[in-house]
Structure 1
Amino acid sequence: MDVVINVFVALHIIGIASLLGGFLTQMKAMGAGTARFVPAMLHGALTMLVTGIVMVGLNQMQGHSLNNIKIGIKMAVLVVILALVYVKRDEEKLPKPLFGAVGGLTMLNIFIAVLWT
C-alpha cells in the first residue's frame, strides 16, 4: 500500500509543478498586463485536488494519524485557487492582483505542506 501512496504523492507533486509552472510562465505577461490562466494551471489544480483526497483516504484506511486542520486549510486554499482559475480560465487578460493572488496562494499551499509539522 505504501507504493500506491507514494505514486499519489508523486502525482500530487506533478500537479503542484503544473500549477506553479503555469503561473511562472506567465510572469512576464503579468508585468505587461496580459497574463492569463493557462490550461496547465487548471489541470494541475484538479490533479492536486483528486490526488490529495485519495491520499487522505488511503492514509486513513491504513490507520495513520492525520493532521485534519492542516489538510482542511490546504484544501480550502486549493479550492479558492481552483475556483479562481476555473471561473477566469477563458479571459484573455487578468488583473495583476488576481493573477498574483493565485501564485501567492499556490506558494502558501506549498509552504503549509512543507513547513507545518
Structure 2
Amino acid sequence: MDVLINVFVGLHIIGIAALLGGFFTQMKAMGQGEARIAKGMLHGALTMLITGAALVGFNQAADHPVDNIKIGVKLVLLIAILGITYVKRDDEKVPAPLFGAVGLLTLANIFIAVLWV
C-alpha cells in the first residue's frame, strides 16, 4: 500500500507542477493584463483533486492518520482554484486579480500541505 501511496503523491506533485507552472509562465502577461488560463492549469487542478481524494482513501485504508480539517481546508482552496480555471478557461484575457488568486491559492495549498503538521 505504501508504494501505491507514494505513486499517487508523485502524481499529485505533477498536478501541482502543471498548475503552478502554468501560472508562472503567464506572470508577465498578467502584468500586462493579457493572462489566460492554460489548459494545463485546469488539468493540473483536476489531477490534484483526483489524486488527493485517492490519497485520503489510501491513507485511511492503510490506517495512517488523516487530518480531516487540513484536508477540508485544502479541498476548499482547490475547489476555488477549479472554479476559476474552469469558468475562465476559454477567455482570451483573465483579469489580473483573478489570475493572481489562482497562484496565491495554489501557493497557500502547497504551504498548508507542508507546514500544517
Which residue of the partner structure matches residue 92 of structure 2?
92
Shift of 1:3: 0.5
Shift of 1:104: 0.4
Distance 1:63 1:103 in 2: 33
Shift of 1:80: 0.5
Alignment of 1:29 onto 2:47: no
Which residue of the partner structure matches residue 16 of structure 2?
16
- TM-score norm. by structure 1 comes to 0.99
CA RMSD of aligned residues (A): 0.5
What is the CA deviation profile of residues 27-85 of structure 1, one whole-angstrom value per residue up to 9, with x for unaligned ones? 01001110000001000000000000000000111111111000000011001100110
Distance 1:84 1:102 in 2: 7
Alignment of 1:46 onto 2:46: yes
Distance 1:16 1:62 in 2: 24
Which residue of the partner structure matches residue 64 of structure 2?
64
Distance 1:23 1:86 in 2: 14
- TM-score norm. by structure 2 comes to 0.99
Distance 1:59 1:112 in 2: 18
Which residue of the partner structure matches residue 108 of structure 2?
108
Runs of 4 or more above 3 Å deviation: none
Distance 1:58 1:24 in 2: 31
Which residue of the partner structure matches residue 2 of structure 1?
2
Q: Which runs of 5+ in 1 are unaligned?
A: none
